[in-house]
Amino acid sequence: MIFRVFIISVIVLFSGCAAPSQLSGSGSWAESMLKKLTLREKIAQMMVYRMNMHYLNYNSDEWEEIEELISTDGIGILHIWFGETGSSLTMLNEMQRQAKVPILVEADIESGLGRRYPGAVTLPPMMAIAATGNPKYAYEAARISAEESRAVGIHFNLAPVVDVNNNPKNPIINTRSFGEHPDSVNRYSKEFIRGLHDYGMLATAKHFPGHGDTETDSHSALAQIPSDSSRLWEVELPPFKNAIDSGVDAIMVAHVNAPDFQFNTDDPATLSKFWIQDILRSKMKFDGAIITDAMDMGGIVKKYSDSYALIETIKAGSDIIIQNNQMKKSIDLVEEAVNDGILTVQRINESALKVLRMKEHLGLHINNVISMDQTHKNIGRQSDFSLAEEIAENSITLVKNKNNLLPLQPDPSEEFYVIDLYDGPNNHNESSVTIKLREHGYKLNSFQIDKSDSLVIANHILEQIPKDAFVFLNAYANPVEWKDNIFLPSVEADFINRLIKKSDKVIITSFGSPYLIQDFPDAPVYICAYKGSEIMQQALLSALMGESDINGILPVTIPGVAKIGDGIQIKSNKW
In angstroms, the CA 26 to CA 33 distance is 12
DSSP helix/strand/coil, 345: helix
The residue type at 499: L
Q: Please check whether residue 150 is in contact with residue 200, taking contact to mean a CB–CB distance below 8 angstroms.
A: yes
Q: Are strands 397-401 and 525-528 parallel, antiparallel or unpaired?
A: antiparallel
DSSP string, 502-537: H-S-EEEEESS-GGGGGGSTT-SEEEE----SHHHH
Angle formed by the axes of helices 490-502 and 455-463, to 10°?
20
**Burial degree of 367 (CB within 10 A; 0-12, 13-18, 19+):** exposed
Catalytic, out of 79, 181, 219, 361: 219
Q: Which of 245, 249, 267, 293 is catalytic?
A: 293
Among 110, 107, 115, smallest CA distance to 534 is for: 115
* Total Cβ atoms within 10 A of residue 249: 26
Rg (CA), the chain: 25
Residues 6+ apart with CB under 8 A from 248: 21, 193, 203, 204, 205, 288
Report which of 184, 205, 189 is spatially closest to residue 131, judged by C-alpha positions: 184
Query: How many whole angstroms separate alpha carbon 476 and alpha carbon 471?
Result: 16
Q: Is the preceding peptide bond at 182 cis, omega within 30 degrees of 0?
A: no
Whether 293 is a known active-site residue: answer: yes
Q: Starting at the earlier edge strand, list the strands of the sheet with 48-53.
A: 48-53, 77-83, 104-107, 156-157
Q: Are 195 and 141 in contact (CB under 8 A)?
A: yes
Identify the helix (H) or strand (E) that includes residue 234: helix 232-235
| 346 SS3 class | helix
Which helix or strand (DSSP H or E) is residue 90 part of? Answer: helix 85-98
Closest by Cα among 116, 159, 83, 132 to 394: 132
Contact 431, 575 (CB under 8 A): no
- In this structure, what DSSP letter does residue 279 have? I
How many other C-beta atoms lie within 10 A of the C-beta of residue 414? 10
Q: How far apart are CA 353 and CA 46, in angstroms?
A: 9
CA atoms of 523 and 505, how far apart (whole Å): 9
Per the CB < 8 A criterion, the answer to whether 486 and 556 are in contact is: no
What are the residue numbers of the active site?
219, 293
